[in-house]
Amino acid sequence: MTLANRRAFRLLTAGVVLSLGAFSLSSASAAQGEVDAPRADAPAMAAGLKASYFVRNTVSRIAKLNSQLATGEGRFDGTVDSVKETLTGSITLPPTVNAYFVAFRFMPVTSTVSLVSEGDQHGVLVKNPGDAGVVAPRLFPDGKKYLSVIIDLTLSLGLRLSDTKVDGKVLDLGPNCKTAAPLTIKVKGLTGLQDTAPPTVLTSSFEIPPFSGCGVREDLDKLLTGMISGPGNEMSTTIAVRCISTCPEG
């Protein structure tokens, strides 16, 4: 590609950028020794692009209980920054009411399980060899290319238990029964950055920390820690684009 063609390509890319809310799509790599001039939209790029996603079909397999926990539809609202190559945002997930487990392989347990965001969630944007940049068109499972990012995101979520029954009898855990530290869940994968991009499935493994603050009449921390806490847990979730750049409130 000649230098003139490369410059024309950058002008075309800038038009796409403006239509997406002053966000930059990186062009093909410049020839060795060529230096890009400062861009007029650099402040907007640094500010980042708003991106909102539905979090659907989230299923966690709890290793010690050999049981699955299904979580309802949630949302991730974030900012994609192609200059700093970061992703920052917040996640909200509804509680799972009457989640069913089998403790000690024979005792039925029901509980309301809540995964609560512990502050902002942070991650980085990565790229594959040959990608034009962290933001680039990539092949999706439907066989088409869409503007996208590859996220490497660390979720920090507190796990809370309430309204618990063991074999049909109330187990009073009190109002503050939760893991002593947040769950650290690392998710990495392809995520769309345009409205027409199809959903993608992200998977992760994580450890459940010990429990703290559980029990009213007696300390139940060790009981719950022995039943639930430990490594080898798995999560699968579907990420679907809600809106990019301009998003409705609520």
Please write the tens of the pLDDT for every residue from 48-87: 899 999 999 999 999 999 999 999 999 999 999 999 999 9
Choose among 164, 176, 130, 167: nearest CA to 150. 130
Higher pLDDT, residue 37 or 171: 171
C-alpha 142 chain-centroid distance = 21
Alpha-carbon span 130 to 139, nearest angstrom: 13
Please write the tens of the pLDDT for every residue from 147-157: 999 999 999 99
Q: Whose structure tokens read 């490369």?
A: 6
Q: Is residue 65 part of a domain?
A: yes
Reported pTM: 0.79
| Residue 234 pLDDT | 97
Higher pLDDT, residue 186 or 6: 186
| Residue 18 pLDDT | 33
Q: Is residue 11 part of a domain?
A: no
What sign results for the dihedral spanned by CA atoms 110, 102, 159, 77?
negative
Q: Is residue 16 part of a domain?
A: no
Which secondary-structure segment (H or E) carries 241? strand 230-244
Alpha-carbon span 44 to 126, nearest angstrom: 21
Number of domains in the chain: 1
In order, the DSSP letters of 18-34 are HHTTS-PPP-SPPPTT-
| Residue 17 pLDDT | 35
Q: Is residue 31 part of a domain?
A: no
Which secondary-structure segment (H or E) carries 4? helix 3-19
Domain that holds residue 94: 44-244
Q: Is residue 110 part of a domain?
A: yes
Q: Is residue 48 part of a domain?
A: yes
For residue 83, give both structure tokens. 């200059």
Q: Is residue 23 part of a domain?
A: no
